[in-house]
Each structure stands twice: as C-alpha cells, then as structure tokens.
Chain A
Amino acid sequence: MAGKPRVAFYWAGSCGGCEIAVLEIRERILDLAQAVDIIFWPVAMDFKYQDVEAMEDGSIDVCFFNGAIRSAENEHLARLFRAKSKTLVAYGSCAHEGCIPGLANLSDREGIFEVVYRENPSVENPEKLVPVTRYDLPEGEVELPTFYDTVRTLGQTVPVDYSVPGCPPQAHQSWAVFEAFVKGELPPVGSVIGAGEKTVCDECEHVKEEKKVKQFFRIHEIVPDEKKCLLEQGIICAGPATRSGCGALCPTANLPCRGCYGPPPGVVDQGAKFLSAVASVVDANTEEEAARIVSQIADPIGTFYRFGLAASLLRRRKLDQ
C-alpha cells in the first residue's frame, strides 16, 4: 500500500479487554503510531463516529474490530466499518468466535430479560418493566438499540478478511500482526493470524506421559502436580483442542486451558474436537465404566464450547417459535 497504512480500531459488544490488550505492547505503541496513521481509535484518540460515516468506502486500509454482534447498534457499526475498510480483521475471541458472551446463545432475549430485570433477587420491579427501544419520558423520547436473541460473530455478520484469536490476543502476537500489516507480509485472505499452527499442548511445559483417566476432577477438588499434564491428572483441559499462540499461559498457574484461542488449524468445531480429545483419554473397559467416567464432566456444553459456541456448528439453543 502506498504511504503509511491507514488503520482503525473499533469495539462492539465486548469487555474492553481487547483495547487494553493493544496497549499491552507498552512502549512499542509509539513505534506503531510512527508506522501507521491511526485514523480511528475511540479508546485512545479523539475522533468522532460521524467522521467514519463521511469517509469514502474503502478509505481505511485495515480495521481491527473487536467485540461480538449483540445489538442492532453493533451490527450497524460492523456494516459501516466493513464498507469503509479494505481489510477487516476480527480481533480477539468475541469478534472471532463469540467468546464467553456467546454463551448467551443458550438462552434468548426474553430469557435474559426475565432473569436480569425480574428474577434477580435484588430487583424491585412490581410493574415487571423491561427496557424498550423507544420510551416516552415526560421531557421527551429516549431510544435504545434492539437487543438481539442471538450473539453473532463478526464473520457471521459481514465478510471478514483475517481473524486474530485470543481472549484477549497476547501482546507479542498483536505486535506480530501489526508488523505483518506494516511490511505487507500477509497470508491469504481468510487466514487466522497472530497465533500458532499447532495446539496449546505443543507449547505447554507440563510433562506428558500416558493419557489414561479413570476419574475426572474439577479444579477445586485436587491440588495437581505442577509439572505433569493436567489432563492426564483428570483435570479437563482444552489444550488439545485449542490453537497455539498464547504460550500456554494458564497451565503456568496450575489451571487448565479453557480454549480462548479457538480451534486449531483444520478444525471446524472446537467443541467437537475437545469432546473427542477428552473421550480418547478415558480408560474404561466397559461401556458402563466409560459412561460413569464421562458423567463426571460437569456442564459439557459450557466446558467444550466455553469460547466458541456462537461460531460452532451448534451456534445456539433452538429458539421457540
């Protein structure tokens, strides 16, 4: 690309952690600011949303978009940034695969409203009110964006050119991605970037021997040997079903991987891969024994699809008609 690349950062339905993660490149943020023209970055610089609307289509070279599509407002912005950007990057787990907010797809708008605004024990709501998209106050009308039944990934909403996995992406990976854009050294469109090509197990320092599990444990139930593979000790770990790239951080705190870097290369459905990886370590002689061991896994859907439900083949619980 001619001249400095024009770069935008934007967030939709997210926690803000991806924005903080960009800042985690620390002093190199100044190098980044030298190498590119950051033309939109709400968390760090003062620009207005109308400026983006006024831009010519395709006038942003690269937009790093984080957050899932949770509301009508998120969708509007996703479409706007798609139109204005030559290259659109799903940055972080929410945009890439729905992340933990995607677990909301086990319910729907009504189910969520019912719990949040009516059932929670601190709520005092005798009139059973819930927020509405247009409301007349004595002084005038106030509007809210529509809250959707289903969390979607960015790629399920608009075409995405690249995805950067991680909740959040680790700083060294973000830096590698920024460098690749500046140097124009990019893989084919559609690739996952800012991550490895193997699994978390391949970069995990815990010693792996024979995987034969007679009993599964939850994290609070045992103190694991801090040198040995957690899965071999019966602690469900997403390492075998998760793309490498983070540096296998969570096991360094004696806790298992939960899969935030998404499926490894070649795998469509992380949960299915995870399930088969766990099933393969079960050491049972009979079907009954296998069933007994597997029944020790608490919350299979929330475990195997912790970060990837919205992007999975399942996507969501069936909506009532």
Chain B
Amino acid sequence: MKKISIDPITRLEGHGRIDIFLDEEGEVANAYLVIPELRGFEKFCQGRPVEELPRITARICGVCPEAHLMASAKACDAVYHVDPPPAGKKLRELFYSAFYVADHTTHFYILGAPDFVMGPDADPAVRNILGVIAKVGVETGGKVIEARARSLDIIKMLGARTVHPIGAIPGGMSKPLSAEERVDVEESARWMVDFAQFTIQLFNDLVLANKEYVDLILSDPYTLPTYYMGLVDDKNRVNFYDGLVRVVDPEGEELVKYAPAQYLDNVAERVEPWTYVKIPYLKKIGWKGFVGGKDSGVYQATPLSRLNAADGMATPLAQAEYERMYETLGGKPVHQTLATHWARIIELLYAAERLLELTMDPEITDRNVRTIPTETPTEGVGIVEAPRGTLTHHYVTDEQGLVTECNLIVGTTNNIAPMSISIRQAAQGLIKKGEVISEGLLNMVEMAFRAYDPCMSCATHALPGRMPLEVRILDSTGQLVERLSQGLA
C-alpha cells in the first residue's frame, strides 16, 4: 500500500500532517490527520489560582488568545458564582467583536481569497495575498492592513497588549472604557461596517459571479452533511460571546440546546493512539467512526456551522446576507464546506455591526465593570465561539480557588473528525487510479481543510495565503517513490 504524506511544511515540524494511504489499485484507502504536538495545559493548570487562568490559557494560542481569555473568564465567573455588571459583559463582547473583525479579515483575505481570486489551479507564485492584491488593487491591501490595525488598537485599549491581551477577570473587566476612547471605537466600528460590506461585494464580484467557482462550491468532494454546532442567543441568533450551545442535525432540526454546564452530557472525546489531539463527538449520538450523516456523532463547529445551527443574525445587514446565502445555495442547512468562506464574511459583517451597536450603548462607558466575588469557588464552565469553533473551558477548584481539574475543548479540535472526512473525500474524489498527482490537484485537497481555518496549536495561519505542501508517495516498504511539492521555493 502506498502512503502519501501531505505535510504542511509550516506545520511539519510539530503541528500537523496528513497521511493518505493508497490501496494496491492506487485508489485512496483512507486519510489520517495527524497532530504531532501536545503541551498539556490540562495538567499544568492544576494548582494554579483560577483567576490566573485567563492569562495562562491565553498562551494556548497566539492567534486567538482573545477566545481563551474570554472562555476562561466566563468559566471563572461560574467558579465564583459571580455575575459581571452589564458594562463588564458588554465591554467583553465589544473587545471580542473587535477581535473577530481582525481574525475573520485575516482568514478571508490571506488564506481563503487566493484560491478564489486567483483560481485553485493558478501558479502558486501568484496564488497568495500578493497575487490577490495585484489583481484586486493595492488599495484593498491597504484596507486589510487597516482593518487589522484598527481591531488591534481596540484590543490594546482594553487589554493593554495586542498578542496575549489581558483585562478579563472573574467578575468582569479590569478597567472601564473612557468616553474619549469610546469615540475612537465608534469611528473604527463605522469604518469596519463599510469594510465588511466592501468585502461581501468583492466576494459577489469575484466568486459568486463566476459559475466555475459556484460549481466548485457545490461539488461532491466538498459536501459533508453532519451535525452543526454554534452558540445562540435567546432568539436562536448567532452570538460569539454568550448564550446556549445549539446543535442541529443534518436536516437542520434541533437536536439539543445546552447551557455550558451541561457540556459533558453532550460532548465526549475519543483518544486515538496515532495522534496527540483528542477527537470530540456528540455523546448522545455516539462515535461511529470518521463518517458524516445523522447516525454519526461527528459534528462541525465553523462559521458555516454557526449559521446552520442558528435561525438568523442579530444585526440587520448581516441578516440580509444570511438570507441571501441560503437562498442562493438552496436552503438550510448548507453542507458545502467551501461555503464556510461566505459564512465567515457574513460573520465579519455581524461582528462589525455588533461592535458599532455596543459602542452606541449608553452603558458602555459605565465605570462599574466588575463585581467582586464573595462566594466560595467550586466549579464552572465557560463557553464562547472561537472563530474556529465552540470553545469550552471547565475548571474545578478547591475552596481556596486553586484549580484541581481543568478540561479544555478547543475550537479547531471540534473539527478534527470532519476535517479528516473532508480530506479523505476530496482525495478520493480527486486522486484516481494511475493519475499523476498534480500541484493543482494537491491544492484542491488542501482546500478541503483550509475552509475550516484549522489552527493546530493555534497558528496554521500561514501568511500570505497558503500552506506549502509536500506529498511524499511511499510504497508499502516505506521507500520514497515520488516527491511532489507545491508553493515551494
């Protein structure tokens, strides 16, 4: 049997690898997503004072530390049985909305756009952010840099730093937003709403107007019906910061809607000896292997999943786009994983609109942003939507608030099983008996999991544009038969 290892070179030395096994006939027998890295936060958070965990667990990920900061602070609130004052919660959500603008902008323009703007089989030398800028204009590149800069300035305003910001603590936020700062945030939020609309227009013009791309989105190798997960508010609309976790089945019917404290009734994790990452699945449905469908506990937690799991968006412009996406793609739920790129920019628009709403809230500059905990700490679960999926932090403490148990189900890991299936499906659909494996073909396989924005140990954000891949074809004795690479110097 032959083995094809797709090593994202950027991650090769410790962060992620795909092994594709071919059978004797040269057909794809199976594909495995292998994560060769572990750091063990669940163990070494034991013994730490729980209020320090927002700052400690942020170090899980340098790309999305804001998500860990917020999930952890919410878990701490629960541990201390404390409810932050309204301005504390709103400031957290404001901070988190600004983060979403930066993160979704980065993914869409730098990782996702090259495939669609330049074309999946374009020369790798131009299939990157520089190629995108050359094609759509240098002023667009400037806007992308500005969107990130404006977002990071808001994060630093409240969190003191841009990478590994602080500020979220048990009971609220460590400092309020001043009236002068609010004016700056409002100005940026207005700019971001315009930017998000510009982004959607760009997507319309470059992707939706191109039948070839729409056909690609709708094609079988990129279609994977599973359960879908996402946080929703009290009207079942998407929310990134707070709410209940809703899971819908592949037909879009609600399976369950659960509060953070009930996560153990709903999610379980499987251990496989060939990878360091655990593989979550829906406990009530059960593990049936790496397969999709209604009988399998495999679920997706992505921007598209969040839209599928919700009934709509809580802001007007995003809601209009939400409706247009489902009309265009033939109703809910959408199973086409490449449509995740579209869902992501609808969320970008929502994040910008929500940021603006929050800056206009009269309470946002209230000085009362903290409630001092008074009760004995016990146990708590905090859940937010990280850009890459539902993020769960669960802590148990002794009565001094020192952590005795720490459990983490991190954004990307939710999607390990569906990514594995998507990769296998794409490989099976594209790699056929006797066919020469071309660079373009490899990219098509890679696109299957790039849609998930995987963040193995938190930084598969390969800038600018794409993970270099290498395929090693090995025969059954492990001898190298052929080496193909793409996007490499």
Chain A residues near B (Cβ < 8 Å): 10-21, 23-24, 26-27, 42-51, 70-71, 73-74, 76-77, 99-101, 103-104, 106-107, 111-112, 114-117, 119-125, 129-132, 135, 137-142, 144-145, 147, 167-168, 171, 218-223, 226, 249-250, 252-255, 258, 298-299, 302-303, 306
Residue with the greatest number of chain A CB neighbours at <10 A, chosen from B409, B468, B470 = B468
In contact, A254 and B21 (Cβ under 8 angstroms): no
Interface 1/0 per residue, B44-65 and A, CB below 8 Å: 1011110110011001111101
In the complex, the chain A residue whose C-beta lies closest to that of B161 is: A249
Considering the complex of A and B, which 6 residue pairs feature the smallest CB-CB distances, nearest first?
A17-B62, A16-B459, A139-B21, A42-B10, A112-B40, A253-B160
B116-171 contacts to A (CB < 8 Å): 124, 128, 145, 149, 152, 158-164, 166-167, 169-171
User: Which one of B13, B62, B267 contacts A15 once the chains associate, using CB atoms below 8 Å?
Assistant: B62
CA distance A74 to B40 in the complex (A): 16
Contacts of A147 in B (CB 8 A): 38, 276
**Contacts A50-B470, A147-B276, A219-B51 given; 14 further ones with Cβ under 8 A?**
A15-B60, A16-B63, A43-B463, A73-B36, A103-B56, A104-B39, A115-B43, A121-B394, A122-B278, A124-B269, A131-B38, A132-B273, A139-B1, A250-B161
Verify B55–A258 contact, CB threshold 8 A: yes
How distant is A89 from chain B, measured CB to nearest CB, in Å?
A: 18
| Residue-wise interface mask of B (434-463) relative to A, using a CB-CB cutoff of 8 A (1 in contact, 0 not) | 000000000000000000000001110111
Q: Name the contact of A24 in the complex, choosing from B42, B162, B269 (C-beta under 8 A).
A: B162
Which residue of B47, B145, B171, B489 contacts A51 across the interface (Cβ within 8 Å)? B489
Contact A142 B160 (CB under 8 A): no
B13, B164, B373: the one contacting A49 at CB < 8 Å is B13
* B267: chain A residues within 8 A (beta carbon): 122
What is the minimal beta-carbon distance from B381 to any residue of chain A, in angstroms? 10
Contact assessment for B61 and A16 in the assembled complex, using a CB-CB cutoff below 8 Å: yes
Say if the beta carbon of B285 comes within 8 Å of chain A.
no
Q: How many contacts A-B (CB < 8 Å)? A: 283
CB distance from B408 to the nearest CB of A (A): 8
* The stretch of B27-35, B195-203, B219-227, B355-363 that contacts the partner chain: B27-35
- Establish whether residues B29 and A139, one from each chain, have CB atoms under 8 Å apart when the complex forms: yes
Which residue of A43, A106, A120 is within 8 Å of B47 (Cβ)?
A: A106
Given contacts A107-B43, A115-B42, A219-B51, contact A253 B372 (CB under 8 A): no
Show 20 residue pairs from A and B whose CB-CB distance is below 8 angstroms, ordered by the A residue.
A16-B62, A42-B10, A42-B462, A46-B124, A73-B36, A74-B13, A111-B43, A121-B407, A125-B270, A131-B38, A132-B273, A140-B3, A142-B34, A142-B275, A144-B34, A167-B59, A168-B164, A255-B166, A258-B52, A302-B52
A303 to chain B, nearest CB (A): 8
A140-B489 Cα distance, complex, nearest whole Å: 31
CB neighbours (8 Å) of A306 from chain B are 56
Whether B48 lies near A299 (C-beta < 8 A) is yes
Q: Which of A43, A99, A115 contacts B10 (CB 8 A)?
A: A43
| Cα–Cα, bound, A122→B171 (Å) | 26
Kindly provide the distance from the CB of B417 to the nearest chain A CB, expressed in whole angstroms: 14
Q: Is the CB of A135 within 8 A of B458?
A: no
A15 to B410, CA, bound (A): 13
Nearest CB in chain A to that of B463: its residue: A44
Q: What is the chain A residue whose CB lies nearest that of B276?
A: A131
Expressed in whole angstroms, the Cα–Cα distance for A190 and B287 within the complex equals 53
